[in-house]
Chain A
């Protein structure tokens, strides 16, 4: 008899939970509960959720390092793809609903405003990661190259936090929270890297 997969409920559960934000935004928009400026509200919330998923995807390996948990690793691809999914919804809301597909205004924004430039860069960096997220792509690229490419996830997430930080007018508490979490996650990885290097040089 085939051994049943451990925690069969984990991935479907997170998948359904991850769709809650987009469902909530659509439901509130339909009910007229997104406030006086619904486009801005949807735009901000979609961007925030995208950042949450990017940070969550980067948390999987540190959780294994710190606590020995392996189950987050199984969620990593899905979390990253949800980051891209919400990033895509965020960018679409900006270009279609906010700017009304006025590409000249969008281009002017991207080139003139550094926070939008940084946000656009975040999204552009996520595209190759989403495209090569399949097992087939991993095989085609070879693990070493695939891994090197997917290090872009760090760059993208750092840029995402900077985009958030530069956007707020005055109250930086929320971006600082995400920046701090991200910094802790990166420090854990740095610790792993240094330990490996030290062990290697000791031999």
Chain B
């Protein structure tokens, strides 16, 4: 009959004020958790550059092995920057201004089929298919120091051939005093070009003697494989004694010209980035010192060397020039 049993004694019943306090406690605990999660989450979102919605487009095609015909004699023995760092820490504004953007977003670039137009003051102007170009020159590996104008550096095993070999093949005329390079302009493939952070397309230039110098490389690969998109696939310039921004990426045009060509960073900030941009610890960037650099992977800064340690080979190119004026 008495299924419900007798009611508990009055002394066992939680007093109403305490019962309400318990509910209040649970409510406050929930609100505390929500507040800390909300504040912390918002801060993490702001730290990430507010890019939660940005869609990632990593490269689908993996870099493939390239045949290496010979080891370059100019290679440094310094320890190489790990592949992961070389391919995830990039300045390639065509895919965004954060260092991690190119690795995340360069999947939209199609490095094949690819052609390069070589023209201007040459006897044999031509449009060259990249695979044809690869057949002309044996690839050699060159391990070079790479010094960014932002005062960090890497050691990268590039694969490529001397730019001079290509230039000689198209036979420059006597009026060819400079070489002008152009990056692909295609805002579909290079979404960063949809905003005018820089004056697109990216252009760079070298004096003809710099371009013909045996250290100057047209690179098609690194670490024994084709260039990942974020490193400037399928063809980029490497000038190891100059700041990294001279190494124009994803090249579609090489023109030999009579007058010094415009260069992108020089146009953007002429007092900060010169045409020559030779690595020089004695000439500071207006906003930071160039005396030292951080080698990626190292804790302590190391001194920056004149011409990035290639002075013996290239200092002669600038004999008699005031390198403070021609920075």
Contact = CB atoms under 8 A, between A and B. Distances in A.
Nearest to A52: B46
Contact of B35 (A13, A36, A109, A115): A13
A35 B289 contact: no
Interface string B194-211: 000110000000000000
Given A21-B43, A35-B89, A102-B301, 10 more contacts: A7-B31, A10-B35, A16-B36, A17-B39, A36-B81, A39-B294, A45-B47, A99-B301, A100-B300, A167-B287
Interface stretch (B92-100, B134-142, B155-163, B225-233): B92-100
A142 interface: no
B287 A113 contact: yes
Contacts of A174: 49
Contacts of B93: 170-171
Given A35-B89, A36-B88, A171-B197, A49 B47 contact: yes
Given A14-B39, A21-B43, A105-B289, A9 B32 contact: yes
B296 interface: yes
A112 B285 CA distance: 11
Contacts of B28: 8-9
Contacts of B31: 7, 9-10, 13
Interface string B294-310: 10110111000000000
Contacts of B85: 36
B33 interface: yes
B55 to A, nearest CB: 18
Contact count band on B = 35 or more
B313 interface: no
B99 A21 contact: no
Given A170-B268, A171-B197, A108 B36 contact: no
A112 B284 contact: yes
Interface of B: 28-29, 31-44, 46-47, 49, 81, 84-85, 88-89, 93, 97, 99-100, 150, 152, 197-198, 268-269, 284, 286-289, 291-292, 294, 296-297, 299-301
Interface of A: 7-10, 12-21, 24, 35-37, 39-40, 45, 48-49, 52, 97-100, 102, 105, 108-109, 112-115, 166-167, 169-171, 174
A52 B43 contact: yes
Contacts of B299: 39, 97, 100
Nearest to A19: B40
B300 A17 contact: no
A35 B43 CA distance: 19
Contacts of A19: 40
A13 B89 contact: no
Nearest to A102: B301
B185 to A, nearest CB: 18
Nearest to A4: B24
Q: Pick from B28, B32, B152, B301 the residue with the most CB of A within 10 Å.
A: B32
A77 to B, nearest CB: 16
B300 A14 contact: no
B198 A170 contact: yes
A14 B33 CA distance: 10
B47 A24 contact: yes
Contact of B89 (A36, A108, A115): A36
A49 B88 contact: no
B97 A17 contact: no
B44 A24 contact: yes
Contacts of B49: 174
Nearest to A46: B47
Contact of A35 (B32, B37, B41, B99): B99
B88 A14 contact: no
B36 A37 contact: no
Given A35-B99, A112-B284, A14 B36 contact: yes
A115 B287 contact: yes
A15 B296 CA distance: 35
Given A17-B37, A35-B88, A100-B301, A48 B99 contact: no
